[in-house]
Structure 1
Amino acid sequence: MNDQKATNITWHDGDVTRDNRNQLLGQKGATIWFTGLSGSGKSTVAVALEQALFAQGRLVYRLDGDNVRHGINKNLGFSAEDRAENIRRIGEIAKLFVDSGVLALSSFVSPYRTDRDIVRKLHEDDGMDFIEIYVNVPLAVAEERDPKGLYKKARAGEIPNFTGISDPYEAPEKPELVLNSHEMSLEDEVIAVIDLLKQRGVLPA
Protein backbone atom coordinates (compact mmCIF):
# COMPACT_ATOMS: atom_id res chain seq x y z
CA MET A 1 0.00 0.00 0.00
CA ASN A 2 1.34 3.42 -0.98
CA ASP A 3 0.43 5.94 1.73
CA GLN A 4 2.36 8.85 0.21
CA LYS A 5 0.31 12.02 0.67
CA ALA A 6 2.50 14.54 -1.14
CA THR A 7 1.75 14.87 -4.87
CA ASN A 8 3.40 16.63 -7.81
CA ILE A 9 6.85 16.04 -6.38
CA THR A 10 10.02 15.02 -8.22
CA TRP A 11 13.30 13.67 -6.88
CA HIS A 12 16.20 15.97 -7.80
CA ASP A 13 19.63 14.41 -8.12
CA GLY A 14 22.69 16.58 -7.58
CA ASP A 15 26.06 16.45 -9.30
CA VAL A 16 27.88 15.19 -6.21
CA THR A 17 27.36 11.43 -5.89
CA ARG A 18 27.48 9.07 -2.93
CA ASP A 19 30.74 7.68 -4.29
CA ASN A 20 32.16 11.22 -4.39
CA ARG A 21 31.32 11.70 -0.73
CA ASN A 22 32.70 8.30 0.23
CA GLN A 23 35.98 9.11 -1.53
CA LEU A 24 36.19 12.50 0.18
CA LEU A 25 35.70 10.91 3.62
CA GLY A 26 37.77 7.83 2.92
CA GLN A 27 35.00 5.55 4.17
CA LYS A 28 31.75 3.93 3.12
CA GLY A 29 28.49 4.90 4.79
CA ALA A 30 26.39 2.16 6.37
CA THR A 31 23.64 1.71 8.94
CA ILE A 32 24.51 -0.50 11.90
CA TRP A 33 21.17 -1.29 13.52
CA PHE A 34 21.24 -2.55 17.12
CA THR A 35 18.02 -4.21 18.25
CA GLY A 36 17.13 -5.93 21.52
CA LEU A 37 15.18 -5.65 24.73
CA SER A 38 15.34 -2.57 26.91
CA GLY A 39 18.37 -3.11 29.13
CA SER A 40 20.06 -5.48 26.69
CA GLY A 41 23.00 -3.12 26.22
CA LYS A 42 22.25 -1.67 22.79
CA SER A 43 23.11 1.92 23.67
CA THR A 44 26.13 0.87 25.72
CA VAL A 45 27.62 -0.99 22.76
CA ALA A 46 26.73 1.81 20.34
CA VAL A 47 28.43 4.43 22.53
CA ALA A 48 31.58 2.33 22.88
CA LEU A 49 31.61 1.56 19.15
CA GLU A 50 31.18 5.23 18.30
CA GLN A 51 34.20 6.08 20.44
CA ALA A 52 36.31 3.30 18.90
CA LEU A 53 35.43 4.25 15.32
CA PHE A 54 35.97 7.95 15.96
CA ALA A 55 39.39 7.16 17.43
CA GLN A 56 40.19 5.41 14.15
CA GLY A 57 39.35 8.56 12.23
CA ARG A 58 35.88 7.45 11.09
CA LEU A 59 32.95 9.82 10.77
CA VAL A 60 30.16 8.24 12.76
CA TYR A 61 26.85 9.37 14.24
CA ARG A 62 24.71 7.62 16.82
CA LEU A 63 20.91 7.63 16.69
CA ASP A 64 19.44 6.57 20.03
CA GLY A 65 15.83 5.68 20.79
CA ASP A 66 15.25 8.05 23.70
CA ASN A 67 17.17 10.89 22.04
CA VAL A 68 15.09 10.74 18.87
CA ARG A 69 11.85 10.75 20.85
CA HIS A 70 12.92 14.08 22.37
CA GLY A 71 12.79 15.67 18.92
CA ILE A 72 11.61 14.42 15.55
CA ASN A 73 9.49 11.62 17.02
CA LYS A 74 8.21 13.38 20.14
CA ASN A 75 4.66 13.17 18.77
CA LEU A 76 4.71 9.36 18.78
CA GLY A 77 3.68 6.99 21.56
CA PHE A 78 4.30 3.27 21.97
CA SER A 79 1.34 1.67 20.21
CA ALA A 80 2.21 -0.79 17.45
CA GLU A 81 1.32 1.86 14.86
CA ASP A 82 3.47 4.54 16.52
CA ARG A 83 6.36 2.12 16.96
CA ALA A 84 6.18 1.32 13.24
CA GLU A 85 6.22 5.00 12.31
CA ASN A 86 9.05 5.65 14.78
CA ILE A 87 11.21 3.01 13.09
CA ARG A 88 10.22 4.12 9.58
CA ARG A 89 11.32 7.70 10.27
CA ILE A 90 14.59 6.52 11.80
CA GLY A 91 15.19 4.33 8.77
CA GLU A 92 14.81 7.33 6.47
CA ILE A 93 17.09 9.45 8.65
CA ALA A 94 19.72 6.70 8.74
CA LYS A 95 19.59 6.52 4.94
CA LEU A 96 20.44 10.22 4.71
CA PHE A 97 23.50 9.66 6.90
CA VAL A 98 24.57 6.68 4.79
CA ASP A 99 24.11 8.67 1.58
CA SER A 100 26.39 11.35 3.04
CA GLY A 101 29.09 8.74 3.74
CA VAL A 102 28.58 8.55 7.49
CA LEU A 103 28.39 5.40 9.61
CA ALA A 104 24.97 5.56 11.32
CA LEU A 105 24.70 3.66 14.59
CA SER A 106 21.03 3.10 15.39
CA SER A 107 20.08 1.62 18.78
CA PHE A 108 16.35 0.98 19.11
CA VAL A 109 14.30 -1.75 20.72
CA SER A 110 12.50 -2.01 17.34
CA PRO A 111 10.55 -5.04 18.58
CA TYR A 112 8.71 -5.99 15.40
CA ARG A 113 10.47 -7.99 12.71
CA THR A 114 8.34 -6.47 9.92
CA ASP A 115 9.36 -2.92 10.84
CA ARG A 116 13.06 -3.81 10.81
CA ASP A 117 12.67 -5.61 7.50
CA ILE A 118 11.07 -2.51 6.00
CA VAL A 119 14.08 -0.43 7.04
CA ARG A 120 16.42 -3.07 5.61
CA LYS A 121 14.56 -2.95 2.28
CA LEU A 122 14.70 0.87 2.25
CA HIS A 123 18.48 0.60 2.37
CA GLU A 124 18.94 -2.34 0.05
CA ASP A 125 16.69 -0.82 -2.63
CA ASP A 126 19.11 2.11 -2.78
CA GLY A 127 22.24 -0.05 -2.69
CA MET A 128 23.06 0.83 0.92
CA ASP A 129 24.49 -1.41 3.63
CA PHE A 130 22.10 -2.30 6.44
CA ILE A 131 23.71 -4.38 9.19
CA GLU A 132 21.36 -5.78 11.80
CA ILE A 133 22.93 -6.63 15.15
CA TYR A 134 20.86 -8.47 17.72
CA VAL A 135 21.96 -7.58 21.24
CA ASN A 136 20.66 -10.71 22.90
CA VAL A 137 20.02 -11.05 26.61
CA PRO A 138 17.50 -13.15 28.56
CA LEU A 139 14.49 -11.18 29.78
CA ALA A 140 15.40 -12.03 33.37
CA VAL A 141 18.83 -10.44 32.95
CA ALA A 142 17.44 -7.33 31.27
CA GLU A 143 14.84 -7.02 34.01
CA GLU A 144 17.48 -7.44 36.69
CA ARG A 145 19.58 -4.69 35.13
CA ASP A 146 16.59 -2.36 34.61
CA PRO A 147 18.83 0.75 34.29
CA LYS A 148 15.86 3.10 33.86
CA GLY A 149 13.47 1.37 36.26
CA LEU A 150 11.09 0.67 33.38
CA TYR A 151 10.52 -3.02 34.02
CA LYS A 152 9.53 -2.30 37.59
CA LYS A 153 6.98 0.26 36.38
CA ALA A 154 5.74 -2.09 33.65
CA ARG A 155 5.24 -4.90 36.18
CA ALA A 156 3.26 -2.47 38.32
CA GLY A 157 1.04 -1.63 35.36
CA GLU A 158 2.34 1.93 35.12
CA ILE A 159 3.70 1.50 31.56
CA PRO A 160 1.38 -0.10 29.00
CA ASN A 161 2.66 -1.73 25.80
CA PHE A 162 6.07 -2.43 27.30
CA THR A 163 8.21 -4.78 25.25
CA GLY A 164 8.95 -8.07 26.97
CA ILE A 165 6.19 -7.62 29.56
CA SER A 166 2.90 -6.61 27.91
CA ASP A 167 4.15 -6.41 24.31
CA PRO A 168 6.16 -9.01 22.36
CA TYR A 169 9.73 -8.80 21.14
CA GLU A 170 10.35 -10.56 17.83
CA ALA A 171 14.00 -11.54 17.66
CA PRO A 172 15.75 -11.28 14.28
CA GLU A 173 15.79 -14.53 12.33
CA LYS A 174 18.93 -13.83 10.31
CA PRO A 175 20.85 -10.90 11.83
CA GLU A 176 24.31 -10.15 10.54
CA LEU A 177 25.63 -10.52 14.09
CA VAL A 178 24.41 -11.67 17.51
CA LEU A 179 25.98 -10.20 20.63
CA ASN A 180 25.17 -12.15 23.80
CA SER A 181 25.73 -9.18 26.06
CA HIS A 182 25.35 -11.17 29.28
CA GLU A 183 28.26 -13.41 28.25
CA MET A 184 30.59 -10.98 26.45
CA SER A 185 32.71 -8.07 27.63
CA LEU A 186 31.97 -4.68 26.13
CA GLU A 187 35.42 -4.67 24.55
CA ASP A 188 34.77 -8.01 22.85
CA GLU A 189 31.41 -6.78 21.56
CA VAL A 190 33.04 -3.74 19.96
CA ILE A 191 35.78 -5.88 18.42
CA ALA A 192 33.17 -8.27 17.00
CA VAL A 193 31.28 -5.41 15.32
CA ILE A 194 34.43 -3.83 13.88
CA ASP A 195 35.57 -7.21 12.55
CA LEU A 196 32.20 -7.62 10.85
CA LEU A 197 32.44 -4.16 9.26
CA LYS A 198 35.85 -5.08 7.87
CA GLN A 199 34.54 -8.40 6.53
CA ARG A 200 31.72 -6.61 4.73
CA GLY A 201 34.02 -3.98 3.23
CA VAL A 202 32.51 -1.11 5.16
CA LEU A 203 35.86 -0.54 6.85
CA PRO A 204 39.22 -1.32 5.24
CA ALA A 205 40.63 -4.69 6.30
Structure 2
Amino acid sequence: MSEADGTPAGWQGGTVWLTGLPSAGKTTIAAGLAEQLSAEGHRAQVLDGDEIRAALSPDLGFSKADRDTSVRRIGFVARLLAEHGVTVLAPVIAPYAESRAAVRDQHVARGVGYLEVHVATPVEICADRDVKSLYARQAAGEISGLTGADDPYEAPVDPDLRIHTQHNTIDESVRQVRALLAARGL
Protein backbone atom coordinates (compact mmCIF):
# COMPACT_ATOMS: atom_id res chain seq x y z
CA MET A 1 0.00 0.00 0.00
CA SER A 2 1.07 3.56 -0.44
CA GLU A 3 0.30 6.90 1.08
CA ALA A 4 -1.57 7.82 -2.12
CA ASP A 5 -4.49 5.58 -1.15
CA GLY A 6 -4.60 6.81 2.43
CA THR A 7 -2.69 3.90 3.94
CA PRO A 8 0.77 4.68 5.28
CA ALA A 9 3.60 2.71 3.67
CA GLY A 10 4.32 -0.46 5.62
CA TRP A 11 0.87 -0.78 7.15
CA GLN A 12 -0.38 -4.27 6.25
CA GLY A 13 -3.86 -4.68 7.63
CA GLY A 14 -4.88 -7.57 9.82
CA THR A 15 -7.50 -8.66 12.30
CA VAL A 16 -7.72 -7.83 15.98
CA TRP A 17 -10.16 -10.31 17.47
CA LEU A 18 -11.58 -9.01 20.77
CA THR A 19 -13.18 -11.86 22.70
CA GLY A 20 -14.89 -11.79 26.07
CA LEU A 21 -18.20 -12.01 27.88
CA PRO A 22 -21.25 -9.95 26.95
CA SER A 23 -20.83 -6.36 28.27
CA ALA A 24 -17.08 -6.87 28.81
CA GLY A 25 -16.23 -3.75 26.77
CA LYS A 26 -15.20 -5.34 23.47
CA THR A 27 -17.22 -3.10 21.17
CA THR A 28 -16.39 0.05 23.15
CA ILE A 29 -12.67 -0.67 22.86
CA ALA A 30 -12.98 -1.54 19.17
CA ALA A 31 -14.88 1.67 18.40
CA GLY A 32 -12.32 3.80 20.27
CA LEU A 33 -9.43 2.11 18.51
CA ALA A 34 -11.09 2.42 15.09
CA GLU A 35 -11.52 6.15 15.69
CA GLN A 36 -7.87 6.51 16.66
CA LEU A 37 -6.60 4.46 13.71
CA SER A 38 -8.75 6.43 11.28
CA ALA A 39 -7.43 9.70 12.72
CA GLU A 40 -3.91 8.38 12.10
CA GLY A 41 -4.79 7.72 8.45
CA HIS A 42 -5.25 3.95 8.65
CA ARG A 43 -8.16 2.05 7.16
CA ALA A 44 -10.06 0.42 10.01
CA GLN A 45 -13.35 -1.43 10.16
CA VAL A 46 -15.29 -2.66 13.19
CA LEU A 47 -17.14 -5.93 12.60
CA ASP A 48 -19.44 -5.95 15.60
CA GLY A 49 -20.37 -9.55 16.38
CA ASP A 50 -24.05 -8.82 16.99
CA GLU A 51 -24.47 -6.73 13.83
CA ILE A 52 -22.58 -9.12 11.56
CA ARG A 53 -24.38 -12.13 13.02
CA ALA A 54 -27.73 -10.50 12.30
CA ALA A 55 -26.69 -9.74 8.71
CA LEU A 56 -24.85 -12.96 7.82
CA SER A 57 -26.43 -15.54 10.10
CA PRO A 58 -30.04 -14.61 10.91
CA ASP A 59 -30.92 -18.27 10.40
CA LEU A 60 -28.68 -19.45 13.23
CA GLY A 61 -29.60 -19.98 16.84
CA PHE A 62 -27.28 -20.16 19.81
CA SER A 63 -26.35 -23.83 19.93
CA LYS A 64 -22.64 -24.62 20.06
CA ALA A 65 -22.69 -25.57 16.35
CA ASP A 66 -24.55 -22.37 15.37
CA ARG A 67 -22.21 -20.18 17.40
CA ASP A 68 -19.24 -21.91 15.77
CA THR A 69 -20.67 -21.28 12.29
CA SER A 70 -21.32 -17.62 13.08
CA VAL A 71 -17.78 -17.08 14.41
CA ARG A 72 -16.25 -18.75 11.36
CA ARG A 73 -18.34 -16.57 9.02
CA ILE A 74 -17.30 -13.41 10.82
CA GLY A 75 -13.70 -14.61 10.72
CA PHE A 76 -13.93 -15.17 6.97
CA VAL A 77 -15.19 -11.62 6.35
CA ALA A 78 -12.51 -10.23 8.67
CA ARG A 79 -9.79 -12.07 6.78
CA LEU A 80 -11.07 -10.87 3.40
CA LEU A 81 -11.00 -7.25 4.55
CA ALA A 82 -7.61 -7.67 6.22
CA GLU A 83 -6.15 -9.13 3.01
CA HIS A 84 -7.01 -5.81 1.39
CA GLY A 85 -5.10 -3.70 3.89
CA VAL A 86 -7.89 -2.98 6.36
CA THR A 87 -7.30 -3.27 10.08
CA VAL A 88 -10.35 -5.22 11.18
CA LEU A 89 -11.51 -4.91 14.76
CA ALA A 90 -13.81 -7.82 15.55
CA PRO A 91 -15.53 -7.55 18.96
CA VAL A 92 -17.12 -11.00 19.07
CA ILE A 93 -17.91 -13.10 22.14
CA ALA A 94 -16.64 -16.26 20.36
CA PRO A 95 -17.07 -18.42 23.46
CA TYR A 96 -15.30 -21.54 22.20
CA ALA A 97 -11.55 -21.96 21.83
CA GLU A 98 -11.96 -24.23 18.81
CA SER A 99 -13.85 -21.57 16.83
CA ARG A 100 -11.31 -18.89 17.69
CA ALA A 101 -8.47 -21.22 16.67
CA ALA A 102 -10.18 -21.84 13.32
CA VAL A 103 -10.36 -18.10 12.67
CA ARG A 104 -6.69 -17.68 13.60
CA ASP A 105 -5.78 -20.61 11.33
CA GLN A 106 -7.69 -19.01 8.40
CA HIS A 107 -5.59 -15.90 8.78
CA VAL A 108 -2.27 -17.69 9.26
CA ALA A 109 -2.88 -19.93 6.24
CA ARG A 110 -3.21 -16.83 4.06
CA GLY A 111 -0.36 -14.88 5.69
CA VAL A 112 -2.73 -12.33 7.19
CA GLY A 113 -1.98 -10.69 10.54
CA TYR A 114 -4.13 -11.82 13.44
CA LEU A 115 -4.12 -10.80 17.09
CA GLU A 116 -6.35 -12.16 19.83
CA VAL A 117 -7.27 -9.79 22.63
CA HIS A 118 -9.08 -11.22 25.63
CA VAL A 119 -11.24 -8.57 27.25
CA ALA A 120 -11.16 -10.33 30.61
CA THR A 121 -13.89 -8.59 32.54
CA PRO A 122 -15.35 -10.65 35.40
CA VAL A 123 -18.94 -11.79 34.91
CA GLU A 124 -20.05 -9.79 37.97
CA ILE A 125 -18.79 -6.55 36.40
CA CYS A 126 -20.39 -7.46 33.06
CA ALA A 127 -23.70 -8.15 34.82
CA ASP A 128 -23.49 -4.76 36.56
CA ARG A 129 -22.88 -3.04 33.20
CA ASP A 130 -25.54 -5.17 31.43
CA VAL A 131 -25.57 -2.87 28.40
CA LYS A 132 -28.23 -4.92 26.59
CA SER A 133 -30.13 -6.15 29.68
CA LEU A 134 -29.06 -9.71 28.85
CA TYR A 135 -28.04 -10.66 32.37
CA ALA A 136 -31.26 -9.24 33.82
CA ARG A 137 -33.33 -11.11 31.23
CA GLN A 138 -31.42 -14.33 31.94
CA ALA A 139 -31.91 -13.93 35.71
CA ALA A 140 -35.64 -13.37 35.12
CA GLY A 141 -35.83 -16.58 33.08
CA GLU A 142 -36.67 -14.74 29.85
CA ILE A 143 -33.62 -16.05 27.99
CA SER A 144 -31.21 -18.93 28.39
CA GLY A 145 -27.86 -19.79 26.89
CA LEU A 146 -26.20 -16.54 27.97
CA THR A 147 -22.46 -16.89 27.67
CA GLY A 148 -20.84 -16.71 31.09
CA ALA A 149 -24.15 -17.08 32.95
CA ASP A 150 -25.67 -20.41 31.90
CA ASP A 151 -23.55 -21.20 28.85
CA PRO A 152 -19.78 -21.72 28.92
CA TYR A 153 -17.06 -19.29 27.93
CA GLU A 154 -13.66 -20.82 27.26
CA ALA A 155 -11.24 -18.03 28.12
CA PRO A 156 -8.17 -17.84 25.88
CA VAL A 157 -5.18 -19.58 27.44
CA ASP A 158 -2.51 -17.53 25.66
CA PRO A 159 -3.98 -14.44 23.97
CA ASP A 160 -1.74 -11.80 22.43
CA LEU A 161 -3.12 -9.38 25.03
CA ARG A 162 -5.38 -9.69 28.05
CA ILE A 163 -7.17 -6.53 29.20
CA HIS A 164 -8.83 -6.23 32.60
CA THR A 165 -11.35 -3.47 31.97
CA GLN A 166 -12.42 -3.30 35.59
CA HIS A 167 -8.99 -1.75 36.28
CA ASN A 168 -8.68 0.43 33.14
CA THR A 169 -10.44 3.36 31.59
CA ILE A 170 -11.60 2.97 28.00
CA ASP A 171 -8.70 5.15 26.85
CA GLU A 172 -6.20 2.98 28.72
CA SER A 173 -7.64 -0.17 27.14
CA VAL A 174 -7.51 1.40 23.67
CA ARG A 175 -3.89 2.44 24.28
CA GLN A 176 -2.97 -1.13 25.26
CA VAL A 177 -4.38 -2.54 22.02
CA ARG A 178 -2.82 0.25 19.96
CA ALA A 179 0.58 -0.47 21.56
CA LEU A 180 0.19 -4.15 20.66
CA LEU A 181 -0.57 -3.22 17.06
CA ALA A 182 2.48 -0.98 16.91
CA ALA A 183 4.70 -3.70 18.40
CA ARG A 184 3.48 -6.20 15.80
CA GLY A 185 3.87 -3.83 12.88
CA LEU A 186 0.19 -3.78 12.04
Which bin holds the TM-score, normalised by the shorter protein?
Answer: over 0.9
Q: Which runs of 4+ in 1 moved over 4 A?
A: none
Structure 2 partner of 1:174: 158
**Pair 1:128 & 2:108 matched:** no
Q: CA deviation at 1:157?
A: 2.1
How far apart in 2 are the matches of 1:70 and 1:163? 17
Aligned partners of 1:43 and 1:171: how far apart in 2? 18
CA RMSD of aligned residues (A): 1.0
Q: Which structure 1 residue ranges, 5 or more long, are not aligned?
A: 1-21
Identity %: 38
1:47-77 C-alpha deviation (Å, 9 max, x unpaired): 1111111111111000001111231121111
- Superposed CA offset, 1:117-176 (max 9, x none): 110011011111110000011111111111111001112222121101110011000100
Can you give the 5+ residue segments of structure 2 that lack an aligned partner in the other structure? none
1:104 partner SS: strand
| Correspondence for 1:31 | 15
Aligned length: 181
Q: Within 5 Å, which residues of 2 pair with 1:106-125?
A: 106-125=90-109
- Listed as ranges, the matches of 1:74-153 within 5 Å are 74-153=58-137
Q: Supply the distance in 2 between the matched residues of 1:86 and 1:48 (Cα, whole angstroms).
A: 24
TM-score (norm 1): 0.86
TM-score by length of 2: 0.94
Which structure: larger Rg? 1
